[in-house]
């Protein structure tokens, strides 16, 4: 406490001047955010150092004051890094904890740091810096997962499995093609992530509480020092906007929906009923009672965790709904959902990026399953069309052949030629080449099709494109 300030009941508060009584003990805990926003300390200190440099450039601080502040903040950062910092709930949040400690260490100069600034533009800056760093980590994990998928797709281009609609066997597809379908979903997530980063990367610093400041500040300078692409144009909007948090959760929710769809298929495919793939033991766990069990916990948990991120999206939308401009204390509630959403997305991506390259396919089982479900029925219809039969009639003919196959418990390719010819005399000896799985996929050789040669090309193209991604 400065000697020239008379002590008030809220003397320990940085804002205590106008108060006649101390804060209620419960209210102090209720309004504090330091238990969770201490996570922003690195961004808070980076923002303060940039602000101090700008104040010195503008002649508001001397070079010596700037250096004392910068040195003090760096020392505090080192102490927090090393776990040597005592956070105080009485000091409410990360911003006031650090500022008080700075003043305790370097004296009255520390009190000059907050010139031309408010916690409102400070916290808005901190969260944007924090989320920007998180997005970069998440984007790198996403790229790692996509690379794993494309590599596996290249190896498995020739592995044939049943493709499904309505979870009923539909047509044979390449396993690699299926993996590349997942990659397409994730590719869109990546571009949404970058898009969200670009819109977010503007500096609120200088908006102060809401109306800006009377000091001759240089907002472009702090923006540049902090790696922002520019400044928020309107001071009211700068302190009240949390769109970026909502956008991130929206992008994250959709990404998690994609991971949950992948997870669901992995769970199905590892079941004894499908038995299409195996996952390494190190990504599974056993049962405490059933000795035979090997449970796909990682995909199950990813599937389950997807709900959290959508929940946080809804929470943030409701948080911001109807808030008047500009800053409101409500906004303090943005952090926990945002932190948890980012942690969840990052951890789920890591789990999948680590696990997916080690999936082992069982080509024999996949093949067997594809042969069991009349998956080449469409190929037979297309064959009849090539012989001059209209598609609708061909569909009818093949439907009857399938019914015969069901009755005889045989695939179309296992029915004798004479039986097939009983349904249409357009059927010849050459029919068996289209009834094979290999013939079926090879015939779909157009762009985006499942022919193994196309899948190999698509996987190679994906890998080339992924290798060109630049870390932000
Ligand atoms: N802890 C606050 C938050 O997270 C910091 C900003 C507080 N500003 C204020 N005027 N009370 O939003």
Q: Does residue 8 form part of some domain?
A: no
Share of the chain above pLDDT 90, in %: 91
Domain final residue, candidates 58, 85, 115: 115
DSSP of 395-462, one letter per residue? HHHHHHHHHHHHHHT--GGGS-HHHHHTT-TT--TTHHHHHSHHHHHHT--STT---HHHHHHHHHHH
Q: What pLDDT is stored for residue 87 in this prediction?
A: 98
Length of the chain: 472
218 burial (CB, 10 Å; 0-12 / 13-18 / 19+) is middle
Q: Do 324 and 186 have their domain in common? A: yes
pLDDT digits over 7-40, tens only? Answer: 555 667 888 888 989 999 999 999 999 999 999 9
Band the pLDDT of 108: cuts 50, 70, 90: very high
Q: Are residues 158 and 225 in the same domain?
A: yes
Same domain, 351 and 402: no
What does DSSP assign to residue 295?
Answer: B
| Number of domains within the chain | 3
Which residue owns the Cα nearest ligand 1 atom 11?
A: 329
Atom of ligand 1 nearest to the CA of 327: 10
For residue 312, the domain's CATH number is 1.20.200.10
**Does the structure show a pLDDT above 90 at 137?**
yes
For ligand 1, say whether the CB of 331 is within 6 Å of any of its atoms. Answer: yes
Cα(207) to ligand 1 centroid in Å equals 14
The residue nearest atom 12 of ligand 1, judged by CA position, is 332
| pLDDT above 50 for 124 | yes
Compute, in angstroms, the gap from residue 59 CA to the centroid of ligand 1: 28
- Is residue 287 flagged as an active site residue? yes
- How many CB atoms neighbour CB 414 within 10 A? 12
At residue 24's C-alpha, the angle toward residues 21 and 29, to 5°, is: 135
User: Based on the domain organization, do 219 and 248 belong to the same domain?
Assistant: yes
Of 95, 115, 135, the residue that ends a domain is: 115
114: nearest Cα among 39, 204, 28, 215:
215
Exposure on the CB side of residue 258, measured as CA atoms within 13 A: 23
- Ligand 1 near 270 CB (within 6 A): no
**Range 129-135 average pLDDT:** 98
Domain assignment of residue 250, given as a range: 120-367
pLDDT digits (tens, 9 = 90+) for 330-388: 999 999 999 999 999 999 999 999 999 999 999 999 999 999 889 999 999 999 999 99
Residue nearest to atom 3 of ligand 1 (CA): 332
Q: What is the pLDDT, as a whole number, of residue 1?
A: 38
Pocket test residue of 90, 329, 331, 333 for ligand 1, highest count of atoms within 8 A of CB: 329
| 93 CA closest ligand 1 atom index | 1
Q: Which atom of ligand 1 is nearest to the CA of 33?
A: 1
Q: In terms of pTM, does the model score above 0.75?
A: yes
Our answer to whether residue 95 is catalytic in this structure is: no
Q: How far apart are CA 235 and CA 16, in angstroms?
A: 26
1 Cα to the center of ligand 1, angstroms: 22
Mark 122-160 as b/e (b = at least 16 C-beta within 10 Å).
bbbbbbbbbbbebbeebbbbbbbbbbbbbbbbbebbebb
Residues 243 and 266 in one domain: yes
Looking at 325-370, which runs of residues are DSSP E strands? 360-361
Instruction: Output the six-digit token pair for 36.
Output: 């969770």
User: 105 and 199 share a domain?
Assistant: no
Shortest-distance atom of ligand 1 to CA 92: 1
Whether residue 21 is contained in a domain is answered as: no
Active-site hit among 2, 166, 288, 322: 166
Residue 442: CATH number of its domain: 1.10.40.30
Question: Do 131 and 244 have their domain in common?
Answer: yes
Q: Which of 183, 177, 221 has its CA nearest to residue 203?
A: 221
Report the separation in Å between the CA atom of 53 and the middle of ligand 1, taken as the mean of its atom positions.
23
**What are the tens digits of pLDDT across the range 50-97?**
999 999 999 999 999 999 999 999 999 999 999 999 999 999 999 999
d(CA 440, CA 214): 74
pLDDT band at 285 (very low <50, low <70, confident <90, very high): confident
For residue 33 and ligand 1, the question of a CB distance below 6 A is answered with yes
Q: Which residue has the higher pLDDT, 433 or 151?
A: 151
Average of per-residue pLDDT across 260-270: 98
Question: How far does residue 236's CA lie from ligand 1's centre (Å)?
Answer: 15
Whether 260 maps to a domain, the answer reads yes
Same domain, 239 and 144: yes
Contacts (Cβ under 8 Å, ≥6 apart) of 394: 380, 381, 382, 384, 385
């Amino acid at each position: 406490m400065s000697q020239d300030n008379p002590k008030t009941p809220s003397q320990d508060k940085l804002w205590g001047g106008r108060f006649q009584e101390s804060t209620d003990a419960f209210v102090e805990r209720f309004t504090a955010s330091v238990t969770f926003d201490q996570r922003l300390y690195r961004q808070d200190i980076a923002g303060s150092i940039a602000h101090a440099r700008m104040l010195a450039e503008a002649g508001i601080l001397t070079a010596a004051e700037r250096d004392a502040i910068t040195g003090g903040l760096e020392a505090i950062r080192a102490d927090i890094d090393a776990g040597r910092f005592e956070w105080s709930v009485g000091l409410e949040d990360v911003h006031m904890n650090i500022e008080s400690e700075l003043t305790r260490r370097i004296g009255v100069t520390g009190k000059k740091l907050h010139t031309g600034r408010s916690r409102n533009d400070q916290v808005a800056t901190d969260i944007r810096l924090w989320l920007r760093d998180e997005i970069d980590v998440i984007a790198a994990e996403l790229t790692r997962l996509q690379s794993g998928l494309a590599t596996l797709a290249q190896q498995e281009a020739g592995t044939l499995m049943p493709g499904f609609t309505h979870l009923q066997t539909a047509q044979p597809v390449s396993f690699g093609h299926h993996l590349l379908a997942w990659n397409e979903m994730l590719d869109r997530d990546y571009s949404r992530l970058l898009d969200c980063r670009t819109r977010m990367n503007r500096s609120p610093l200088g908006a102060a509480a809401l109306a800006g400041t009377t000091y001759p500040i240089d907002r472009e300078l702090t923006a540049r020092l902090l790696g922002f692409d520019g400044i928020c144009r309107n001071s009211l909007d700068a302190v009240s906007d949390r769109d970026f948090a909502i956008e991130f959760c929206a992008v994250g929710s959709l990404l998690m929906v994609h991971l949950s769809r992948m997870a669901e298929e992995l769970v199905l495919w590892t079941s004894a009923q499908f038995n299409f793939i195996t996952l390494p033991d190190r990504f599974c766990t056993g049962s405490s009672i059933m000795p035979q069990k090997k449970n796909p916990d990682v995909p199950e948990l990813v599937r389950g965790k997807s709900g959290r991120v959508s929940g946080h999206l809804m929470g943030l939308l409701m948080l911001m709904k109807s808030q008047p401009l500009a800053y409101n204390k409500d906004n303090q509630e943005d952090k926990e959902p945002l932190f948890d959403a980012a942690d969840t997305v990052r951890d789920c991506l890591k789990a999948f990026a680590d696990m997916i390259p080690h999936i082992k396919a069982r080509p024999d089982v996949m093949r067997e399953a594809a042969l069991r479900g009349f998956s080449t029925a469409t190929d037979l219809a297309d064959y009849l069309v090539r012989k001059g039969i209209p598609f609708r009639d061909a569909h009818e003919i093949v439907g009857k052949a399938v019914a015969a196959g069901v009755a005889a418990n045989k695939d179309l390719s296992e029915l004798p030629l004479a039986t097939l010819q009983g349904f249409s005399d357009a059927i010849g000896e050459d029919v068996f080449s289209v009834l094979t799985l290999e013939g079926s996929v090879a015939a779909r050789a157009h762009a985006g099709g499942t022919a193994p040669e196309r899948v190999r090309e698509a996987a190679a193209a994906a890998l080339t494109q992924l290798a060109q991604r630049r870390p932000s």
